Structure 1
Amino acid sequence: MSNGFDGTGAQEAAGVEPAGAGPVVGDGARQEVHPTGARPEPPPEPAPEPPVEADVGAARLAVLKALGDNTRYAIYLEVARSPLPLGTAEIADHLGLHPNTVRPHLERMREVGLLSVEADTRGGVGRPQHLYSLAPGAPSLGLEPPAFPVLARMLLSLARSTGASPEDAVEAGREQGRVDGARRAGRPCLDALVDVLAVLGFDPAVLAVADGATVAFAHCPFRDLAEANPDLVCGLHRGLVEGVVDAVGGGAVAAFHPLVDRTPCQVQLDLPVGPEGPLALGAR
């Protein structure tokens, strides 16, 4: 409001802009006018995207925070241990909770990538209910249905009894790696490979060098089977890595060191050299 001494109140009442005032912009604020004619400095450039190690770390932190709630963790266990997708009411009944209590916890776990949701289309009155199951890319927490490890051991025994060779295992791994790599088409090679390994629970650690990178496997989700059958299981892992790199492009596997090597489990990649060294994680 005008104090009556500067005359701006009368000017505004008459529809005249006070001297020095800039034009009104869309939100009603006035654009600042610089009497010297100098343009204001442009806003700072947005911060560069964090490298994929930060992305993976942030995703892992979000998962841990999501499971830090006791009720949510109990709900996750219920879904993780079920061989079939579960509905909200079914989960609530198993845990003695109200569906309205369960529903937001399920949604939060879906947001961080722990759970997948699908509509139950088997008919019935009203809206189809949502069914929840472990997301395909959810990190392994050792909570899969007990049938999965048993099935893996039986399939491994079958492969050995039918004469599957280490090269057969490598090729089977390559087929899966190509599928996983194709889903990450357009991403830098190292970025895509680290993402695949992180999703599978290998906890990859990256060391960049002048013309490539070494990706170490800090954790092996296949370890129990690999120690008993290193030629086949490590062959599957090697093929998986090669398949991802082949499908994404922009790199090559220079060496793969499995569990039986004295060198820690790791893969060495040759990567194209850019202005600041090898094609870095998170480059776009």
Structure 2
Amino acid sequence: MTRTAQASGDQPRRQAMLEALRSSGAPLGVTELAERLGIHPNTVRFHLDALVAEGLVDRRLEEPTGRGRPRTVHTPHPGMDRGGRRQYQLLAKILLGQLSTAPDAGAAAEAAGRNWGGYLVEQIPPPRQPDIAEATQRLNAMMTDLGFAPEPDGDPAERIRLRHCPFLELAEEYSATLCPLHLGLMRGALTEIHAPIEATRLEPFAEPDACIVHLSSRRPNAGARPHRREQRST
């Protein structure tokens, strides 16, 4: 039996243990769980160890009421069950559908992307400013972390191919909103590190297997770090 098949077979039994613990009015020991479920205590121990490791069950020693070793008991970890399905793609569709109804959905999406791009990019300590090579390296590193699989296309300071879209199904349906958000991510990142280049355009699905990002030199002083003014005490 493969590990995947074994894990799949273990799940119903562990779920049954969780339900037994939740329905119990008191903490349960291994023997009590084994009796309730009709399985061997060693099997109970095995699955309890896994549930404790996953943070779904709490294990503790009861205060002794007489002679002998204190009893080890188990209770379900408080909080909502973290198992089950996730519907993040549905949530993304709902939010993108709502955003796409805005008067200027593309601009709103780009602004959101700019904010997050500035947050996600690896920072450069002031007052140092990156050169073109470092700026493109940091941009590519961020896009790699996000799953876009970037690769230089000719001059890396002019064009970058994005070989993968981590939101492909959504981008095919909501490209007018999602693609400006991607462009905003890159613009926000380059602005945040005061790069001497800027992302000027994103061509969605420019090639059968890639989108193309166009870069250009930033106009003089546009990427300079602003001088911070000292606050005056009043």
TM-score, length of structure 1 as denominator length: 0.43
Distance 2:174 2:115 in 1: 20
Amino acid at match of 2:169: D
CA distance in 2: counterparts of 1:213 and 1:125, whole angstroms: 61
Which residue among 176, 180, 184 is the counterpart of 2:120? 180
What is the aligned counterpart of 1:215 among 139, 147, 160? 160
SS in 2 for 1:194: helix
Residue aligning to 1:83? none
Shift of 1:163: 3.4
In structure 1, what is the equivalent of residue 110 of structure 2? 170
Q: CA deviation at 1:216?
A: 0.9
Distance in 2, Cα, partners of 1:270 & 1:159: 29
Return closer, same or farther for 1:160/1:207 CA change in 2, 3 Å cut-off: closer
- 1:195 aligns with 141
- Look up the match of 1:12: none
Deviation at residue 184 of structure 1 after TM alignment:
2.9
Q: Which residue of 2 aligns with 1:146?
A: 86
The answer to whether the aligner puts 1:235 opposite 2:180 as a matched pair is: yes
Deviation at 1:246, TM superposition (A): 0.8
Q: 1:227, 1:259 within 8 Å by CA — same for their partners in 2?
A: no
Change (3 A) 1:256 1:162: closer
Separation of aligned partners in 2, 1:215 and 1:239: 15
TM-score normalised by the chain length of structure 2: 0.51
Tell me what 1:265 maps to. Answer: 211
- CA distance in 2 between counterparts of 1:146 and 1:250 reads 38
* 1:39 match: none
Matched to 1:248, the amino acid is I
Contact 2:206 2:212 in 1 (8 A): no
2:101 maps to 1:161:
yes
| 1:132-152: CA deviation from partner (whole Å, max 9, x where unpaired) | xxxxxxxxxxxxx63211100
The residue type paired with residue 172 of structure 1 is A
Q: CA-to-partner distance for each residue in 1:78-124, whole Å, 9 max, x for gaps?
A: 9xxxxxxxxxxxxxx9xx66848x97xx9xxxxxxxxxxxx9xxx99
SS at match of 1:224: helix
Q: Percent identity?
A: 23
Residues 15-46 of structure 1 show CA distances to partners (whole Å, capped at 9, x for unaligned) of xxxxxxxxxxxxxxxxxxxxxxxxxxxxxxxx
Instruction: Give the counterpart of 1:206 among 152, 171, 180.
Output: 152
Contact 1:251 1:269 in 2 (8 A): no
- Compared CA separation, residues 124 and 176, structure 1 to 2 (3 A): same
Residues 164, 156 of structure 1: alpha-carbon distance in 2 compared, 3 angstrom cutoff: farther
Q: CA deviation at 1:214?
A: 2.3
Which 5+ residue runs of structure 1 have no aligned equivalent?
A: 1-68, 79-92, 107-118, 130-144, 273-284
Distance 1:246 1:173 in 2: 12
CA RMSD of aligned residues (A): 4.1
